[in-house]
Structure 1
C-alpha cells in the first residue's frame, strides 16, 4: 500500500465520520494526525527507520497507537516518562479499543522497582520497620492482599518518595531470582509473562534501554523480541542511551552490600564473627571513600594522587578478603549465597573503574551529590551504541517527538542518532502561532556572562509579568540563577511566587493552576513534560540559551572526540542539544487552539551571534518583536 493510498484510509479512520468522532464529543479532525498515521502505518508495513516531528496538538499518540494496534505486528511503544506511559494505557488505549474492539491486546510494563516484592514485604513485616514507617507498611500490606498487578502506583495513600518503597520492592542486586520462595506470586514475573503474549507493550525509555543493555551483555532480557519499536519523546534517547550503556558504581551500592552481608551472616552464620567484622571494615572503608570526594563532577583517574582515588585504592584492598570470606560462607544460606553472587558483579565493576586507559571508548567521571558518591563510565558516542543495539534489533523503528528538527530540518538529528538515512516527516502543530503567540526579544540586555545578567533579565521581565497579570513560567538554565531570581522577586512581585524545590513538581503545578495568576520559577525539570492549558499559563520567559555546562566532563570528552575526527563540536553537538532544549521549554506556552501567550527569550545572542538564527528558525512561526509596547498591546487586544 502506498502512502497516498494509506492516506485515503486514514482520512476515514480519523475523520469526521470515524468511530473516534462518534465516541468523543470533543474530537477534532486534524489533517496532520491523519498524515502521520499514514506514515506510521507505511513504516510498520515496509520497515526502516523514521523520524517524525509531531507538533503540540497534533494528536500524535492516536496517530501512532492506532496504526500499531491494527498492524498485526508485535510492537513496543516506549515513552520518556511514566506519566505519558500511564496516559497511553489508562486513557488513550481504552478509547481506541472501544472504537476498534478487534484491535490487538496491549499491556503496560514497568521496571522492577515499580512492582511489589512479596518476599521483601514479608521480610519487612517479620523484621519490623521504624515507627515512622509503620503506618505506610501496614497500608502496603493491606493493599498487597487485594492488588492484581502489584504496581505500586495503585497505592495513592503512600507517598511516591516514602522510605517504605525500597524495603518492599526489589532491585537487580537484591532479587533472589529462581531461589525466591515467593516466586509464584511475583508481580514482576507475571507482568513479563503477560508481555510475551501481548501484541502492543507500553514501556518507558529506562526499561527499554535496560533491556537492550542486558541483551548486549548476554545477561537475559526484560522484554520480548518485538517486530517494531515506536519511541515517543525520542529527543531524550541519545543521552539516556549513554547512561544505560555505561558503567555505574555508587557508594550506596557498596555500603548496602556490606550491610546485607552483616545481616545475612547474623541470620545464617551467627558463629562467624570474622565475616561480620570484615563486612563492618568494608562499610567503614566505603564511608572514608565517600568523605574524601569534593562536591560536584570531576574526571575520574584511578591512579592519580587525589584523595578520592587514594581511598578508592584502599577500598579495593578491603574487597578481596571480604569477597573471599562471603564466598566461603555462601553454602550456609540463601542470603549469603546471594551476597556472594553480588560480590562477583561488584568485582567486575570495581575492576573496570580501577583499570587505566579506556579513554578511546568512554569518559570516566565521579560525582558527589550531598551524601552520595557515584562513579560513571559513559560511552563517548551514543550514536554508535544506538546503531548497534537498538536499530538493528527491530524491522521498523519510529522516532517521534515535538522537537526533532534543528534549524528547520532533520540532518543534525540524524547525526545525533547515528542514522545514515531515515524516512522523515513533519506533522506541524495545528495552531495559528502568528495569531496566538508573540515572541519578545528585549533590547539592551548584557551578555549572559555578565555578573549582573540575571538581575537585568528580571528588570526586563517585570513589566512583561505585569502586562500578562502573572500567569507565567520563568525558566532558568541554572539553579544558581533561579535562587537569585527567587530572592529578588520575593519582594518585587505582587503575584503568588512558586519556586522549584519548595514542593514536589506535581504539587507546584497544582498550586499554579489553582492560583490563576502565579509566577513559577523552574529549572531543568520544568522545561519539558509539563502541560498547563488555558489562561493560567500565558507567558514563558527563558533566561539563557540552554547550552550544556562547559565544565561537564562528559561534554568535554565528546567535544574533544569530535575535534579529533575533524568535526566542529559547537555546530555538531552543542548547538543541536541546546536547540532541542530551547524548543522544549518554549513548547510549554501554546498547548491548545484556545491558548494565547508571550514567549520572552532574554538571551541577546539570538540576534548578536550568527548561530542565533538556527534557534529562531527552529521555533514555531511566531510574530517577533523587541518592543515592550507590543507585548502590552498583545494583552490589551486579548482582553
Structure 2
C-alpha cells in the first residue's frame, strides 16, 4: 500500500465528451501509505448550460458554476496530483475518457499512468455482492454517503471503498493472489501491475492461513466441517399446546415480542396436521407470522418423531429468510436445537475438480477471466459452493456450465469427492431436521421418483399459490432458440473453437487408426446441417406465430397456440422441420457416441486433459439427447399437452420459444405427490376465493373430504389503516381504445401523484399499457420533479427498482407481472397503491384458452370457474403490497370501474379484508386522499 493512489470522480453535463459534454465538478482524494493524505474538489464552469436532468441528478445548477473556474484553470493542479500515481475511479472508462478530453483541450498531454477500477475490483473481491453501484456498495460496507452524484462525496466514498478493497486483497492467501496475477493480465485496468508489486512486498510473508481457510490441490478453500453424524437419541419435549406456554417460549427468545393469536392458531393447525398425518390448506393473512407459525410446531414433530420435514418455498428470498433469520430465532426460542440445510439442484453447486482443470486453460474472454477471479476469491469464503451466492455476468453464467456439478463429471478420485459440495449437502440433508428447498426441486424430485431429495413424507409448501404453475412447467417441455444454438455452438464446427476440435485432436493423438467410423470432417458437416435445420425450424415457428396473429395490439411479445391437428401448410412445415431435426440429432449423436466408445477402448493412450474433454463431450451428448426427447414429445409423440409459441415480433428468431404443458396437473400431483406423502401443509396469504378453498383444491388435485382447511385473518386493522377509492368519471375499460384509456388514467395518475407527493406503486396487467402510460406522463412534464421508475424501462431487477423507489421521497414505481406479489415496501415509503385494471388473463393466452375449453367441454362456465378465480387471487396479491406492518396507512385506487359496476365485482371485494370504499369524481377523491394521508 506504499503506492500513491488518486481517487477521482467527475460530474458532467452528459455522457459524450467528444460531442461537447463538459465537466461541472472535479474531485480527487489522494491515498499514500494506506492513508488519505489530501483532498481536492472544485466546481467547474462548463461554459454551456447544465441540462435539467443533470441538475436534478447532481443538485448543481448554472448559478452555482457561474463564477467557478473553467477547467484549464484547475488542470495544472490535477496534473500535479496525478504525478506518479495510480488513477482510481468507480467505472474508470467514464472518468478517465472525460478527463483526457478536458486535459488535451487545456493543452496537456493527458494521463498515461496505471489505472485501477473499483467496479472491477469489487466484482472480483466482493463476488457475492448484490450490486456494484457505488451507493449500494457504500450501504454494504457501512460507508457514509450523504450526497450521491456530487463529485466530492462520491470521491470520498470511492476512496474509503478502495482502501477496504486493498485490505481485502492483501489479506487473501498468497496462493490465491498468485493465481489472480496471470488472470489479471486480461482485465481493463492495471490490477496486474499492482498485484506484482503486492507480491514483492509480501515475499517474506509466510502464507499463514486463517483458521477458516485450507489449501487443497492448489486451491485456497473455506474450511467446513462435514456433519455426517447420525441423529442422536433425543428425549421427547412436549409440544406447548396452550397459549400461555407458547407465550413463555417466545418471550424468552424474542426481543419486543408481540402476541399474535393467529400465529398460535396456525402453530396448532400445523402440529395437528403432522401429528395426525393429514393434508392441510392454511391461508394466513399478512402479519400473522406464518414462517414461525409452521416452523415452531414442525420442529417438535421433526425432533420427537425423528422425521425430516421438507420446507419448500417459491423464492430464494424466502429460503434465505428462513435459513438466516427464522432458524436462528427458532433455536433461541426452543429447548433444543434444530438442524436445517438448504438443498438445491445438483447444477447449482460447483465441481471443484472441473474448476481446477479449467483454471489451467488459456483465457481468451474478459467475462471468463473475471469469473475465474471471482470464484478464486469466493472459494475462500463459501461454505456451500452454491452458484446463487455469486453475482455472475451473463458470460459468467455460461462459464458456470463448464464447472457445474454434473453426473457426467462425477469424479472417480476419492480426494475430490471429499470436497464435493453437492455430495456434502446431500450428506448434511440426510441428518437434518428441516430440508429447505424450492418448488422446482421438490417437483423435480417428484418427476424423478424421489431420487433427488432424502426420503421424506412430511412437507410444508410455503408460497403455495405458485405450486400449480411450477408443476405445469415441470411436467411439460420447452424449446428456445438461444439455448438450442448455444448447445450446438458448444460442440461447434472446425471454424469454431469447440468440442469438435477437441474430439478431432484426441482422435489424431491416438496411434491406432479406425477407418470404420465417420471421419471428423463428416461430423463437421452434420453439425452444419443440424445448425441450418435448427435455424429453419425456429424461423418456421416464428413465421407460423406471426401469420396467425396479424394484429398485435401494440404488443411486441405474442403467444400463439400450436396444434399438431392443424393441417395448414405452415403447421405441416413446422412438423416436417421438427422431424428432420430429430433425425439429424440422432445421426450426430450416434456418430459422436461411436467415436467416444472407441476412444474409451484406447483409454491408456489418453492424457488427463483428454479424459476431461471426453467427459465434456459426454455431457454434450446427454444434453443433445434431451433436446431430441423434447422435440419428439412436442411434435411427434401424441400428448394432451397445451402447446404454444412465444415470439417477439421485433427479433422473431432469437427470442422464439416453444412450450408444451399439461392443461391440468391435478391428476399428476394427486397420484405422484399427495397420495404418497403422509402430511402436506400448503400455506400462503392468497389461497381462497370468496372465503372458499374449492378452486385451489381442484387445481392441485386435493380431495376436499380429506383436506383440512384454515383461514387465519391478518391481525392488521384494515378498516383503520386503508381507504379504497374508485374514480367513476373514468371510461369503462372495454368501451374505449387502449390509447383513450391510457390518456384517461395518465391524467388521473398525475392528479393522484400530486395529492400523495409520490410514494405510489402503480400495478399494470400488461407492459404495453405501462409503457404508453409512462411515455405520456413523461411527455406531459407535469411530474418532472418526481422520480419515475418503470419495470422494463428503467434498468434493473425488481429488487433494484424497489430499492431505488425507497431511496427517493417523491417517487412513482410502475410495475407489471412480478410486482403484483413479493414486493415488500413497509412504512411511509409506500402510501398509495394504484390498480389500473382488474388482473384478468387475456382469453387468447394459450393455457387460459385450453383450460377454458376443458371446462366448456364438461358443460362448465369458464369465466366463473377459471378466469374470475385467477383474477381474484392476483388482485389479492396486489392488494397485499400496501399494508406490511400494523403502523402502515395507505390508499388503494382502483381505476377499473368493473369492481363496482359488474355483478362479479363483489368477488374481488369479498376476498380482501373489509375496508371503507369511496367512489366519485377524481377531484372529490383527491381531497379525501389529502386529508387521509
Pair 1:428 & 2:723 matched: no
8 Å contact kept, 1:10–1:35? no
Q: Secondary structure, in 3 states, of the residue corresponding to 1:185?
A: coil
Q: CA deviation at 1:189?
A: 2.3
* Aligned-residue RMSD, C-alpha: 2.5
Q: 1:9 aligns with which of 241, 250, 259?
A: 241
Question: 1:108/1:82 Cα in 2 relative to 1: closer, same or farther (>3 Å)?
Answer: same
Structure 1 residues 379-415: Cα deviation after superposition (integer angstroms, max 9, x where no partner): 1112222212221231111111101110122222222
Structure 1 residues 36-74: Cα deviation after superposition (integer angstroms, max 9, x where no partner): 111111101011111111000111100001111111331
8 Å contact kept, 1:384–1:418? yes
Q: More deviation in 63-72 or 493-502?
A: 493-502
Q: CA deviation at 1:304?
A: 4.7
Q: CA deviation at 1:120?
A: 4.3
* Residue of structure 1 in register with 2:286 after alignment: 56
Give distance in 2, aligned partners of 1:169 and 1:311. Answer: 29
Pair 1:305 & 2:305 matched: no
8 Å contact kept, 2:347–2:405? no
* Residue of structure 2 in register with 1:141 after alignment: 376
8 Å contact kept, 1:117–1:169? no
Structure 1 residues 240-281: Cα deviation after superposition (integer angstroms, max 9, x where no partner): 111111122333443344334343332233352222332233
Give distance in 2, aligned partners of 1:390 and 1:531. Answer: 32
Give distance in 2, aligned partners of 1:345 and 1:530. Answer: 36
Give distance in 1, aligned partners of 2:618 and 2:374. Answer: 32
* Residue of structure 1 in register with 2:733 after alignment: 448
8 Å contact kept, 1:33–1:60? yes
Structure 1 residues 532-560: Cα deviation after superposition (integer angstroms, max 9, x where no partner): 00001011001111111212112111111
* Residue of structure 2 in register with 1:464 after alignment: 752
* Residue of structure 1 in register with 2:800 after alignment: 507
8 Å contact kept, 1:436–1:595? yes
Structure 1 residues 477-535: Cα deviation after superposition (integer angstroms, max 9, x where no partner): 00001001110122232421111121222221111111133110000111101100000
Question: 1:180/1:596 Cα in 2 relative to 1: closer, same or farther (>3 Å)?
Answer: farther
Give distance in 2, aligned partners of 1:133 and 1:348. Answer: 31
* Residue of structure 2 in register with 1:168 after alignment: 400
* Residue of structure 1 in register with 2:536 after alignment: 288
Q: More deviation in 268-277 or 576-585?
A: 268-277
Q: 2:634 aligns with which of 327, 333, 353?
A: 353
* Residue of structure 2 in register with 1:367 after alignment: 646
1:216-615 pair list within 5 angstroms? 221-262=451-492, 263-270=498-505, 271=508, 272-294=520-542, 296-302=558-564, 304-306=568-570, 308-331=574-597, 332=599, 333-355=614-636, 357-358=638-639, 361-369=640-648, 371-421=654-704, 422-449=707-734, 450-451=736-737, 452-490=740-778, 491-493=781-783, 494-501=785-792, 502=794, 503-615=796-908
* Residue of structure 1 in register with 2:166 after alignment: none
8 Å contact kept, 2:349–2:422? yes
Question: 1:507/1:172 Cα in 2 relative to 1: closer, same or farther (>3 Å)?
Answer: closer
Q: Which has the higher contact order (CA 8 A, sep 6+)?
A: 1
* Residue of structure 2 in register with 1:82 after alignment: 316
Q: More deviation in 177-186 or 571-580?
A: 177-186
Q: More deviation in 166-175 or 370-379?
A: 166-175
Q: More deviation in 318-327 or 174-183?
A: 174-183
Give distance in 2, aligned partners of 1:127 and 1:180. Answer: 25
* Residue of structure 2 in register with 1:91 after alignment: 325
Q: CA deviation at 1:417?
A: 2.1
Give distance in 2, aligned partners of 1:57 and 1:504. Answer: 26
Q: CA deviation at 1:376?
A: 1.9
Structure 1 residues 278-320: Cα deviation after superposition (integer angstroms, max 9, x where no partner): 2233223222323333263222345752254454344234223
Give distance in 1, aligned partners of 2:687 and 2:403. Answer: 34
* Residue of structure 2 in register with 1:3 after alignment: none
Q: Secondary structure, in 3 states, of the residue corresponding to 1:441?
A: strand
Q: Secondary structure, in 3 states, of the residue corresponding to 1:76?
A: strand
Give distance in 2, aligned partners of 1:135 and 1:356. Answer: 44
Q: Secondary structure, in 3 states, of the residue corresponding to 1:78?
A: strand
Q: Secondary structure, in 3 states, of the residue corresponding to 2:656?
A: strand
Give distance in 2, aligned partners of 1:188 and 1:469. Answer: 51
Give distance in 2, aligned partners of 1:483 and 1:428. Answer: 36
* Residue of structure 2 in register with 1:211 after alignment: 445
Pair 1:185 & 2:419 matched: yes
Q: More deviation in 319-328 or 231-240?
A: 319-328
TM-score (norm 2): 0.64
Structure 1 residues 588-639: Cα deviation after superposition (integer angstroms, max 9, x where no partner): 0000010000111111111221111111101121111113577545555556
8 Å contact kept, 2:349–2:405? no
Question: 1:166/1:120 Cα in 2 relative to 1: closer, same or farther (>3 Å)?
Answer: farther
Q: Secondary structure, in 3 states, of the residue corresponding to 2:281?
A: strand
Question: 1:400/1:175 Cα in 2 relative to 1: closer, same or farther (>3 Å)?
Answer: same
Q: Which runs of 5+ in 1 are unaligned?
A: 1-5
Q: CA deviation at 1:104?
A: 3.0
Q: Secondary structure, in 3 states, of the residue corresponding to 1:551?
A: coil
Q: Secondary structure, in 3 states, of the residue corresponding to 1:393?
A: coil
8 Å contact kept, 2:405–2:422? no
Give distance in 1, aligned partners of 2:538 and 2:362. Answer: 29
Structure 1 residues 9-62: Cα deviation after superposition (integer angstroms, max 9, x where no partner): 2513542xx233233322211001011111111101011111111000111100
Q: Secondary structure, in 3 states, of the residue corresponding to 2:810?
A: coil
Q: Which runs of 5+ in 2 are unaligned?
A: 1-237, 493-497, 509-519, 543-556, 600-613
